[in-house]
Amino acid sequence: MTGKTQALEIVGVAGSGKTTLTRALRSDHDCHVADSLHTKLPGHWPYVVHGLPRVVAFFAASMRDRPALSWDELKFVLYVAEWDRFLRAEDRDRQGVVVLDQGPMFALACLLWGRKPVTRHASFEAWLRRMAERWSRELDAIVVLDAPDAVLLERIDAREQRHDAKGVPSHQGLELLGRHREAYGRVFELVESYGRTRVLRFDTATMPPARIAGELAELLGLGRARELTEAPRARNLIQGSATTRDDA
């Protein structure tokens, strides 16, 4: 993003409260929720065309090792490789904080949690590292939401959205959540290794969305273009309020 804009992505396993927090930030604070890149929108087609060679390469590689990547997974390859160009064009003159809901960290984790054979290739690992390095320069913060497994499974079962962990035996749901956490952990490990992006963790079973949104507003200075590293109070909030357990 530009020097005038801070960008953060909200991530977490299913049921962790990502959508609820995004709504709280959008309704109560001065921030902008970024549009997603879509293959079906004509205005986005230049980015799709630009990223097609990479998609074709991944498709060819995955065809050698079945099961192949699905169309949705191939779109994640496209999105994570092109979304930064799209965001810079869309938010060229925007100031403040841009929030990404299900952004590049989500896309990378989705590719990993499928555990397809192509993701074990050296070429995929090299691409993953390049994407992590690229997005470490674009994202100022990653907000990781989580909750105890029992809480997550209860939330998943209670909501209307379809999910692979919904309505299944608890051991299957727990295995799926564990696989998703493992994938996110791998992505965060790579991004954090470059020392640019802060990863902030919150337990939504103990902190309501409004409180998390309020702390993020203080941390990021919503409504003001201020760097994370220039806010002494932000460092205190990170140490005192964000959870430190490495379970995402």
**What are the extents of the domains in the chain?**
5-240
pTM as predicted: 0.82
According to the CATH classification, is domain 5-240 in 3.40.50.300? yes
Q: Give CA–CA dist 74/125, Å, rounded.
A: 16
85, 161, 214 from 170: Cα distances, Å: 41, 18, 34
pLDDT 10s per residue in the chain (248 long)?
544 578 999 999 999 999 999 999 988 887 888 888 888 889 898 999 999 998 998 888 888 888 889 999 999 999 999 988 888 887 666 667 889 988 999 999 999 998 999 999 999 999 999 999 999 999 999 999 999 999 999 999 998 888 988 888 999 999 999 999 999 999 999 999 999 999 999 999 999 999 999 999 888 876 433 333 344 343 333 333 344 333 33
- Those residues whose C-beta lies under 8 Å from the C-beta of residue 195, and which sit 6 or more positions away, are none
Under a CB-based contact definition with an 8 Å cutoff, are residues 220 and 30 in contact? no
